[in-house]
Amino acid sequence: MKKRYLIAGLLVLSFLSLFVGASSITPADLLNPGSEELEIFLISRLPRLIAILLAGAGMSITGLIMQQLSRNKFVSPTTAGTLDATRLGILVSMLLFANATTLEKMAISFAFALAGTLLFMQILERIKFKDAIFIPLVGLMFGNILSSLTTFFAYRADVIQNISSWLQGDFSMIMKGRYELLYISIPVLIIAYLYANRFTVAGMGEDFSKNLGLNYRWVVNFGLVLVALITTTVVLTVGMIPFLGLIIPNIVSILKGDNLQKTLPHTALLGAIFLLLCDILGRVLIYPYEISISLMVGVIGSGIFLYLLFRGKAYA
């Protein structure tokens, strides 16, 4: 899996993505200033592409960091309650502050995402039985508890429908003015890259980190802050995208290993490509209608996840 092939693939798919959709736009239309096509391109197509790339790269890196820090290949925002905690945070911000600005919503759901993930890591530390499959199961249960809290309060406040829209990741609503929050993930991804070596060392355990003079606690907590930040921006703008943070890092790990400084760019690229591919398929399959991205990723992703599980090699 060479980086330049990934980049080439990403460019081709990005180009496709820009010119696939309910209204047909050709590259030639873009040269015509003031045309309706150019307007659609700038307001809808381009933001959509940027959102997909950022969300795809972001969620994959999030999964990668979580797997490294928890030292378990099956831990990801989906399987550690992070997504559910974020959603609970969004509900709380909606209920408590009816007119919350995006940034306020972001701050509150970020706090919930971080608290939820930290709580999960605490549970992890207390579990004596560290089986590779058992831990994500605990995470799923934990997520479901948070999720039922969300449903209960949403039901009481009569905002169930509102909340379920957060459940479904969807790029069709992305347009200019609605996705810019995702740009926060760019500096976060850069910081993650700068910390790649520390995350790799932390992934080898507390004793190992201490031997190399690394402040283990600090690195783990810092990593979880990055995870919570990216997850919050993605859930607030796009919605939940399941499995992405689980399968992409695992595929890259099998092929390229776990040296984060080396694999982080691959993981980001592959995540973006995978999400883009799912999005294009979702738009083409029942054209001119759309299949939501969370359904597409869920179906294809769970297939790949099962394949990874059944590969037979005791890998995780």
Partner 1 sequence: MIQVRELSKFYGKKAVVEKVSVNIQRGKITSFIGPNGAGKSTLLSMVSRLLDADTGEVLVDKDDVRKMKSDDFSKRVSILKQSNFMNVRLTVRELVSFGRFPHSKGRLNAEDMRIIDQSIDYMELADIQHSFLDELSGGQRQRAFISMVIAQDTEYILLDEPLNNLDMKHSVQIMKILRRLVDELGKTVVIVLHDINFASVYSDRIVALKNGRVVKDGPTEDIINSDSLKEIYDMDIPIKQMSNCRICVYFNS
Q: Min. distance of Cβ 256 from partner 1 in angstroms?
A: 8
194's tokens: 């700068």
What's the closest the beta carbon of residue 142 comes to partner 1, in angstroms?
22
Stretch that binds partner 1, among 136-144, 191-199, 224-232, 304-312 (CB under 8 A): 191-199
CA nearest to 56, candidates 250, 260, 292, 276: 276
Nearest-approach distance from CB 138 to partner 1, in angstroms: 18
Best CA proximity match to 247, nearest among 9, 82, 75, 50: 75
Q: Count interface residues toward partner 1 (CB under 8 A).
A: 26
Among 15, 97, 208, 287, binds partner 1 (CB under 8 A): 208
214 binds partner 1 per the rule CB under 8 A:
yes
User: For residues 77-136, which are near partner 1 according to CB under 8 A?
Assistant: none
Distance CA 174, CA 301 (A): 22
The one-letter code for the residue type at 147 is: S
Cis preceding-peptide flag for 47 (omega within 30 of 0): no
From 29-37, 83-91, 173-181, 205-213, span contacting partner 1 (CB under 8 A): 205-213
- By beta-carbon proximity to partner 1, the closer residue of 60 and 109 is 60
Binds partner 1 (CB under 8 A): choice among 78, 147, 185, 200: 200
Stretch that binds partner 1, among 2-10, 77-85, 181-189, 190-198 (CB under 8 A): 190-198
The residues, any chain, with a CB within 8 Å of residue 11's CB and separated by 6 or more, are none
Segment lying near partner 1 (by CB under 8 A), choices 47-55, 135-143, 210-218, 282-290: 210-218
Contact between residue 233 and residue 161 where contact means Cβ atoms under 8 Å apart: no
C-beta of residue 169 within 8 angstroms of C-beta of residue 240: yes
> DSSP class of residue 247?
H
- Report the C-alpha gap between 76 and 219 in whole angstroms: 18
CB of 274 to partner 1, least distance (A): 21
CB of 141 to partner 1, least distance (A): 23
The smaller minimum CB distance to partner 1, of residues 23 and 259, is found at 259
| Exposed / middle / buried, residue 74 (Cβ in 10 Å: 0-12, 13-18, 19+) | buried
The site for partner 1 (CB under 8 A) is made up of: 68, 71, 73, 196-198, 200-201, 203-205, 207-208, 210-215, 253, 257-259, 261-262, 316
